[in-house]
Chain A
Amino acid sequence: MYAFIARRLLATLPVLLIVAVLVFLMLRLTPGDPAAILAGDAANPEQIAQIRESLGLNESIVAQFGIWAGHLLTGDLGESFYFKMKVVELIGQRLEPTLALATLTILIAVLVAVPLGVIAAWRFGGWFDRCLMGFSVLGFSIPVFVLAYVLIWLVSLKLGWLPVQGYQRLEGGFWPFLRHLILPAITLSVIYIALIARVTRASVLEALGEDYIRTARAKGLPEWKVLVKHALANAAVPVATVIGIGIALLIGGVVVTESVYAIPGLGRLTVDAVLARDFPTIQGVILLFSFVYVFVNLLVDLSYVFFDPRIRY
């Protein structure tokens, strides 16, 4: 088991390296002087010269990558000239809202989508199943910001139940924190629900065709026990996988949702950084998001052991 974890961790290293190279190249392939681009519009010539010196821009491209990766390994993502602080600190400040939003979204999505998928598979071909499949196509198609505005209009403006926009830090109390977060999380969870429900339905449906289900029913188990303990338990691996893959959708959605709801998180930071052409911040955020994505999927891989004891590493 530990040997497997070690091997699996080692296997992610090349992927992370390639991600780093791609993010590094993104800027170098830009027309113009990287130092001037990194410094942004607000920098003076001395600062640009200083950046050129610290990045070793007069060296070969391989040496430049070495210097950049060296900084990266020591946790130095460079300095944002637009926000006038270290990128690492900047990310630290914006971490809480995004983390809170993502956690609540995943929670809502899993708690809603898995039961829906199981029921749809149980009543395969019935009206519930058809409705859920229709909803899932709709969920994939409705753009997250369109949905966001429909919900703001309906829930906040017409009904007045929840605040329109903004974010309350957790230390200001749990209830205001949750009230501001609930609408963005629902918005963001819709596409995720569509995805997870679809896969849950398909894999439960497959499990329901197996012999052990017939055996379980034959020995007189109550139907819910058959569904949860036999069908769902055996369908858990694909569901866990799709939750991991869906993190990419979630990250894309975070960028949009935080912009619409004016949440000062990492997604909002990405957009602000791009509009200001603040490259150190853009690189930092992309690296962080990609590493999180790779790491979550690593965890999902490891979770297979828990969901399916037959799998041994």
Chain B
Amino acid sequence: MAEQTPDAKQFAALSTESAAVVRRQSAWQRVRANWSVRIGGTAMLLLLAIAVLAPVLGTVDPTLFDAASRDLLPGKQGEIVDLDGETLRHTFIMGSDSFGRDIYSRVIYGTRVSLIVGIASALLALSFGICLGLSSGYLRWLDGPLMRVMDGLMSIPGILIAIALLAAWRASLLTVIVAIAIPEIPRVTRLVRSLVLTIREEPYVEAAVSLGTPAWKIMFGHILPNTAAPLVVQATYICAAGILVEAILSFLGVGLPPDIPTWGNIMAEGRVQFNEYPHNVFFPGIFLAVTVLAVNILGDGLRDTLDPKMAKRV
């Protein structure tokens, strides 16, 4: 957001000496000093830790079920049979679902799926977008046709593309990631293209051209590094959108198969008896909302520090 004025005020309040210090900060220092980045980044690290440490956080196997422990309220004690057939005492911190599965374990393991899908779809959309955007911005004959296709792709609401592709492909982790990434590609392509069109006029690119540097070397060696900051910001937003869309797809029943614990799947199973046991929907819902919020806050912070031009635009 356009927070320039308060920043400027603070800036003016500083003595000239310390203002010079502020100006000498590297991009990394500016990023670290930003509160949005700190909050969002800490939350993301926490979620990553949860995803990695899922087996040791007091969880049981998320697919385990026990008919004797069906529909328990949060905090209730119950029993659950593990894979070796042994019956364990287990506290269902978030209750259990109608199969007698532990919601807490499923939500914690669901973090893994959400983060993998979010990060992988962002990386995928980014790599395709970079290649297409660089080609479109640098190879002028390709620009017209390619951008018309991107216009067409952008005219179809993203979630419909993902839904239709999954109807065609049958859902798996890979197809879900690809289906989420495809609608995001045009946005990245446009961004990269517009950056390339600006950067290619810079003197250092002209210098490289006049030295006879091959086109691919100019694209990846000179232009791409200068597009990094806006792309990092864009990737963060795609990651947030990816996590959200994955949950929506699972919730609608067109995403990952129901036996995989994802937040959307847990909610889809919980909605049937929402009136009696709303916590089956609320616990994964809270995790989902907090995760997306954390990534978005991180993105806003990165945008404000890395890409002030974009901060002004929005």
Cβ-defined contact, B157 with A289, below 8 A: yes
Q: How far is the CB of B50 from chain A (nearest CB, A)?
A: 18
Residues in A with CB closer than 8 Å to B2 are 202, 205
Residues in B with CB closer than 8 Å to A145 are 248, 251, 267, 285
Residue of A nearest to B5 (CB): A125
Q: How far is the CB of A151 from chain B (nearest CB, A)?
A: 12
Cβ-defined contact, A143 with B285, below 8 A: yes
**A140 CA / B300 CA spacing, docked (Å):** 12
Residues in A with CB closer than 8 Å to B314 are 198-199, 202
Q: What is A's interface to B at a CB cutoff of 8 Å?
A: 14-19, 21-23, 26-27, 29-30, 37, 124-125, 133, 137-138, 140-146, 149-150, 152-153, 157, 164, 198-199, 202, 205, 248, 251-252, 255-256, 259-260, 270-271, 273-275, 277, 279, 282-283, 285-286, 289-290, 293-294
Cβ-defined contact, B155 with A26, below 8 A: no
Q: Are A274 and B164 also in contact (CB < 8 A) when A286-B156, A293-B157 are?
A: yes
Residues in A with CB closer than 8 Å to B247 are 143
Q: Which of A14, A19, A146 contacts B156 (CB 8 A)?
A: A19
Residues in B with CB closer than 8 Å to A124 are 5
Is the CB of B174 closer than 8 A to any CB of chain A?
A: no
Cβ-defined contact, B297 with A125, below 8 A: no
Q: Are A18 and B254 also in contact (CB < 8 A) when A26-B168, A137-B296 are?
A: no
Is the CB of B240 closer than 8 A to any CB of chain A?
A: yes
Interface 1/0 per residue, B195-235 and A, CB below 8 Å: 00000000000000000000000000000000000000000
Q: Which of A21, A157, A205, A255 contacts B160 (CB 8 A)?
A: A255
Per CB-CB distance, the 8 closest pairs between chain A and chain B, nearest first, are A18-B152, A146-B285, A141-B293, A252-B159, A30-B168, A141-B292, A251-B157, A274-B167
Cβ-defined contact, B152 with A259, below 8 A: no
Q: What is B's interface to A at a CB cutoff of 8 Å?
A: 1-2, 5-6, 148-149, 151-153, 155-161, 163-169, 240, 244, 247-248, 251-254, 267, 271, 274-275, 278, 281-282, 285-286, 288-289, 292-293, 296-297, 300, 314
The B contact surface, by secondary structure, is helix
Among B152, B244, B253, B281, residue most surrounded by chain A Cβ atoms (within 10 Å): B152
Residue of A nearest to B297 (CB): A137
The A contact surface, by secondary structure, is helix
Q: Are A274 and B254 also in contact (CB < 8 A) when A137-B297, A146-B285 are?
A: yes
Residues in B with CB closer than 8 Å to A157 are 275, 278
Residue of B nearest to A287 (CB): B156
